[in-house]
Chain A
Amino acid sequence: MVSAPFLYAVLLLAVPVAAIVMFSFWSQSYLDLDTTLTLKNYREAAADPIYGQLLARSLWISLVVTVITVVTAFPIAYFISFHVAPGHKSLWIFLVTIPFWTSYLIRVFLWKVILGYNGVLNSGLLGIGVIDAPLTFILYNLNAVVITLAHAFAPFAILPIFVSLERIDRSLLEAALDLGETKVSAFLRVTLPLAMPGIVAAVLIVFIPTIGDYVTPRLVGGPGGLMIANMIQTQFLKLNNAPMGAALAVIAMIMVTVVATAFVLLNRRFLKGRS
């Protein structure tokens, strides 16, 4: 029974991913693919600083976005789980998820409208006299990318944290208070460790896709805010150098995997160290 979806995933995921790995060892000579295996693309990726810079920037942006998104999402998840009446929880979750289901392109574009030189934010702030010249550091740079991505991935962070908070047996907290913990220390010693699986899931689920985001850097990032996905797209569709694009995609994949694995391992050790 599982074979149908599994076969589908193999054919359309495992095979393509394998193909792209293989592709990355080929090379493009003008209009033809040269199918002799070569490390040329990887050498080029290592030699040309633009690639390194893009990769490093993508990684950096993803990390910053992840931290900001998860840190700002946690109180929301906590609020919904601990302070909202049980009957209203699913309504709140619904409210939080709706923006995520509306056109991503348009949402990102609207951030451009909000953050722009004549944008909503600037005209608003000018209007009430907080500033007397439009702010320029908020569009076409990393800040804009970070804000937009943090917005786009908010529900992805809130949901897993919420789920893990919901699973916490409330009597554990009462037991902690009963044993003399303060509310804060009960939170730190009971709630937070028990919410860890959700936080880890949130971190991964935000970190991994953001590193490959294409739309946001293109629309609000300006030249200084481009990320690796933009370069992959350029290689594939503009420069017609699919093998180079494939190599970059593979490098990005490896980077994601390494960072994600390292994070999971570190976290596991951290949790073990405490218990």
Chain B
Amino acid sequence: MRGGGLRIYAVIYLVFLYLPILLLPVFAFNSSTIIAFPLASFTTEWFAELPRVPALRDALWVSLKIAVLTALVSTLLGVCAARAAARYRFAFKGTIMGLIMLPLVLPEIIVAVSLLVVFLQIGLPLGSLTVVLGHVLICTPFCVAILNGAFQSLDISLEEAAIDLGETGWSTFRLIILPLVMPGIISSLLIAFTISMDEFIIAFFLSGSEATLPVYLWGQLRFPQRLPVVMALGTLLVLASVVLLTIAEVARRRGVARRGQQDNGGFL
């Protein structure tokens, strides 16, 4: 076996990474209301309780709405930016792309309070819309990063070949570019959706009275008797994330295969 010592380290590291997530279902199926060992008995009661909480349903609905909108808008913006970055030269390209990517490294609290200040000043009421605006801001860099890979690996002579064979700019986009970057678009949509579903700070500051799922969760964390239900909810969320991400990864790999390249792995 290669990399003996390192491999052991890697496995321990993975355990560290997965420890919290693996504990989720343990407590979600544990009948005790106290989140600690030793475990009591097995129960599905907490899962059964989930649909009976109206506030939870509302929050889920709000989050879904926000996440879908965010995914669509930020992927659209991401397509524009990635395409422009891959194909065109324009003045201040570095600065412009830098600004678009900046939210990736800006502390979220700063994004959140900055937006809060502006929205309050211009009198935009806090709610789902303001959260979407904030989420698009932080999701776009991720979309650009994913789509960059897809657009940059497109050989420009493919487009020229289509033009050469009589197609217009738009039909080339539709017939050649879009099919080739489609897997990237799908994984961009899914990842923006996932980030938005999970984002807390911005939603906390900007959601007003329309609590998103994480904001709702945050409120629940203060009530010890609600915790097992939170664990059940968390289990489902983790499951959903893993499914979505697996789809995104499969889409990405298929894209790599379709463009006939070597897989160099990984998101971002």
Query: Are B230 and A97 within 8 A (Cβ)?
Result: no
Taken together as a complex, chains A and B put the C-alpha atoms of A151 and B17 apart, in Å, by 6
A160 vs B163: C-alpha distance when bound (angstroms): 37
Scan residues 1-37 of chain A and give those whose CB is less than 8 A from a CB of chain B. 1-2, 4-6, 8-10, 12-17, 19-20, 23
Q: Whose C-beta in chain A lies nearest to the C-beta of B38?
A: A123
Instruction: Answer whether residue A270 sits at the interface, using C-beta atoms and an 8 A cutoff.
Output: no
For B170, the chain A residues whose CB sits under 8 A away are none
When A78-B6, A99-B21, A114-B23 are in contact, do A1 and B84 touch as well, CB less than 8 Å? yes
Instruction: Give which listed residue, A119, A211, A214, A242, contacts B36 with CB less than 8 A.
Output: A119
Is B200 an interface residue when CB atoms closer than 8 A count as contact?
A: yes
Tell me whether B81 and A5 are in contact (CB under 8 A): yes
Chain B's interface: helix, strand, loop or mixed, by majority?
helix
Nearest B residue to A17, CB-CB: B114
Closest Cβ neighbor of B116 among chain A residues? A236
Majority DSSP secondary structure for residues of A touching B: helix
B18 within 8 A of A: yes
Max chain B Cβ within 10 angstroms of own Cβ: one of A110, A127, A237: A110
The smallest C-beta distance from B266 to any residue of chain A, in angstroms, reads 4
Other-chain residue from B35, B81, B214 in contact with A113 (beta carbon distance below 8 A): B35
**Cβ-neighbour of B18 out of A99, A119, A245 (below 8 A):** A99
Verify B198–A9 contact, CB threshold 8 A. Answer: no
B77 contacts chain A at the CB level, 8 A cutoff: yes
- In the complex, whether B61 has a CB less than 8 A from a CB of chain A is no
* Docked-complex contact A118 and B117, CB < 8 angstroms: no
Of A100-108, A137-145, A181-189, A261-269, the one with at least 4 CB within 8 A of chain B: A100-108
The verdict on B99 contacting chain A, using a C-beta distance below 8 Å, is: yes
The 5 lowest CB-CB distance pairs between A and B, nearest first, are A212-B107, A83-B3, A16-B114, A90-B265, A2-B84
Q: What are 20 inter-chain pairs, A to B, with CB distance below 8 A? A: A12-B136, A13-B106, A75-B10, A79-B6, A82-B3, A97-B266, A103-B214, A107-B20, A110-B20, A110-B21, A114-B23, A119-B36, A123-B36, A204-B105, A208-B107, A209-B105, A212-B106, A245-B113, A249-B114, A252-B107
